[in-house]
């Protein structure tokens, strides 16, 4: 008996205050495109309807239990369906590689109206340690490297600026107080870590005073980072003037403005804070995070813990960017791939004009696909599937899919093999 390996999914959005309001949220609009269950509705799930007074931040796609996806035709949890036929849907190779039947990645659509918390996602060793101590807050023992792929103009703080650039900024008069009393001959990563940790632990009056002093400096004082005094009021309007994230982000981190189609890679332990835009985000299967800024003081994690695992990669804007490559599994050449330096997933991007066709060869692992623009007919397992904006599908291992666009098509597919 042939197992249905192509399953349309129903997904939902969470609501964090940094999300976009109502229908302004692309994440919410895409989630609302899919109707309710066709049959066997047990009454415990309903259509996702947009409340114009709420802020919608993330639509999750996959099997992470915090916000799982459901099979549209039956209302079943996708993980329950996978567990009934793991060999056919996940594949023995992927199960042997990761040691379980769960998807090793978690794709999302994010809609961002103001800065997310200044954060990092801890490595596997620390994740296991903090999970064992507080499994309610840190819900798994895994790491969480990730990519962010811009769907619209996307602003982000990502990794650290080059050391010579940071060195000039931290020696501005208002910031010297955060440097070590005895300084090394040259500014290095350990000095940078000391600066970050000292800022994060400074009292609120000091942080507020320093921000005001920075705003008074002439723009020329900031060299090539002349955007800094302009962004201070913007961040202060989003969070308190006493939030240390403003100083850490603007003085030490790369400020990136990405165009649609560009992507960045965030390694485990990599410092980052997304600022605005709509993105496809995909990460290793985890929900662990340490926050130290752009959030209420009560929600901040230990600065010492944060800095103890802080990585210094990337260390420039170019190092942060993840470039797309041609995808050998594309028959028509209409699909490219982002391949982050990790084993849990790659991300395909497919762009078709009206009437254009594409075929994607089978891979030895499962995929999650979302249509973000346009419409098409997809052929798989001898069936036709109508794709429209917001359509989300699970595609089991070993399945070839073909597409014919109607008025054009933009879609993204996370997969592992």
Mind listing the pLDDT tens digit for each residue in 369-397? 999 999 999 999 999 999 999 999 999 99
Q: Does the pLDDT at position 250 exceed 50?
A: yes
Positive or negative, the Cα torsion across 207, 209, 211, 217? negative
Distances (CA, A) of 195 to 130, 172, 249: 25, 13, 12
pLDDT value at residue 282: 98
Alpha-carbon gap, residue 366 to 355, rounded angstroms:
27
Q: Is 165 annotated as a binding residue?
A: no
- The string of DSSP letters for 309-334 reads H------SHHHHEE--EE-TTBSSS-
**What is the model's pLDDT at position 36?**
62
What CATH topology corresponds to 12-92+102-158+257-301?
Answer: Jelly Rolls (2.60.120)
What was the pLDDT predicted at 34? 85
Percentage of residues in the chain having pLDDT higher than 90: 94
pLDDT of residue 47: 74
Query: Of 399, 344, 153, whose CA–CA distance to 259 is shortest?
Result: 153
Task: Please report the pLDDT score of residue 38 as a whole number.
Answer: 45
Query: Which residues does residue 378 pair with via DSSP β-bridges, in sequence order?
Result: 385, 403
125/1: higher pLDDT: 125
- The pLDDT score that the predictor gives to residue 42 is 45
Instruction: Tell me: is residue 240 an annotated ligand-binding position.
Output: no
Q: What does the buried/exposed string (b/e) look like for 12-28 if buried means 16 or more CB atoms within 10 Å of the residue's CB?
A: bbeeeebbbbeebbbbb
Question: Among 130-144, 145-159, 330-344, 355-369, which is the least confidently predicted range?
Answer: 130-144
Q: What pLDDT score does 41 carry?
A: 47
Is the confidence at residue 339, as pLDDT, over 70?
Answer: yes
> Residue 119 annotated as binding?
yes
Q: What is the pLDDT averaged over residues 223-232?
A: 96
Structure confidence at residue 1 (pLDDT): 64
User: Rounded CA gap, 225 and 18, in Å?
Assistant: 25
Average pLDDT, the chain: 95
Residue 43 has pLDDT above 80, yes or no: no
What span, in angstroms and rounded, lies between the C-alpha atoms of 64 and 61?
A: 8
Q: Is the peptide bond before 25 cis (omega within 30 degrees of 0)?
A: no
Half-sphere exposure at residue 83, Cβ-oriented, CA atoms within 13 angstroms = 8
Is 100 assigned to a binding site? no
The residue extents of the domains of the chain are 12-92+102-158+257-301, 163-249, 324-415
Distance between CA 325 and CA 333 in Å, rounded?
11
Separation between Cα atoms, residue 247 and residue 97, nearest integer Å: 42
Indicate if the pLDDT at residue 44 is higher than 70: no
Q: By the 8 A CB rule, do 72 and 34 touch? A: yes
The reply to whether domains 12-92+102-158+257-301 and 324-415 share a CATH topology is yes
**What class has domain 324-415?**
mainly beta
pLDDT band at 2; cut points 50, 70, 90: confident
pLDDT number for residue 39: 43
Mean pLDDT confidence for 41-55? 73
């Amino acid at each position: 008996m042939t197992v249905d390996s192509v399953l349309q999914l129903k997904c939902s959005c969470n609501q964090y205050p940094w999300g976009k309001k109502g229908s302004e949220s692309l994440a919410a609009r895409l989630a609302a495109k899919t109707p309710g269950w066709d049959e066997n509705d047990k009454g415990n799930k309903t259509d996702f309807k947009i409340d114009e007074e709420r802020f919608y931040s993330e639509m999750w796609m996959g099997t992470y239990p915090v916000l799982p996806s459901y099979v549209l035709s039956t209302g079943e949890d996708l993980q329950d369906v996978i567990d009934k036929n793991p060999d056919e849907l996940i594949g023995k190779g992927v199960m042997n590689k990761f040691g379980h039947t769960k998807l090793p990645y978690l794709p999302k659509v994010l809609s961002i109206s103001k800065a997310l918390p200044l954060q990092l996602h801890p490595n596997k060793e620390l994740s296991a340690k903090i999970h064992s101590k507080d499994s309610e807050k840190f819900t798994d023992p895994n790491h969480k490297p990730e990519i962010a792929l811009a769907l619209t103009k996307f602003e982000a703080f990502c990794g650290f600026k080059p050391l010579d650039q940071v060195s000039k900024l931290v020696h501005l008069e208002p910031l010297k107080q955060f440097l070590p009393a005895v300084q090394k001959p040259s500014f290095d990563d350990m000095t940078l870590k000391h600066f970050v940790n000292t800022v994060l632990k400074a009292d609120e009056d000091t942080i507020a005073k320093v921000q005001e002093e920075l705003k008074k400096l002439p723009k020329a004082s900031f060299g090539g980072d002349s955007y800094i005094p302009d962004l201070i009021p913007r961040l202060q309007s989003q969070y308190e003037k006493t939030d240390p994230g403003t100083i850490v982000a603007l003085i030490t981190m790369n400020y990136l403005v990405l165009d649609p189609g560009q992507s960045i890679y965030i390694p485990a332990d990599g410092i980052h804070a997304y600022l605005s835009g709509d993105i496809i985000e995909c990460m290793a299967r985890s929900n662990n995070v340490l926050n130290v800024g752009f959030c209420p003081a009560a929600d901040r994690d230990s600065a010492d813990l944060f800095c103890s695992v802080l990585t210094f990669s990337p260390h420039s804007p170019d190092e942060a960017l993840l470039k797309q490559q041609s995808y050998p599994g594309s028959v028509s050449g209409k699909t490219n791939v982002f391949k982050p330096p990790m084993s849990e997933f790659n991300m395909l991007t497919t762009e078709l004009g009206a009437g254009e066709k594409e075929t994607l060869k089978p891979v030895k692992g499962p995929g999650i696909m979302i249509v973000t623009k346009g419409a098409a007919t997809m052929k798989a397992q001898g069936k036709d599937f109508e794709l429209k904006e917001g359509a989300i599908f699970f595609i089991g291992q070993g399945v070839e899919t073909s597409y014919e666009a109607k008025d054009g098509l933009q879609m993204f597919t996370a997969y592992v093999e």
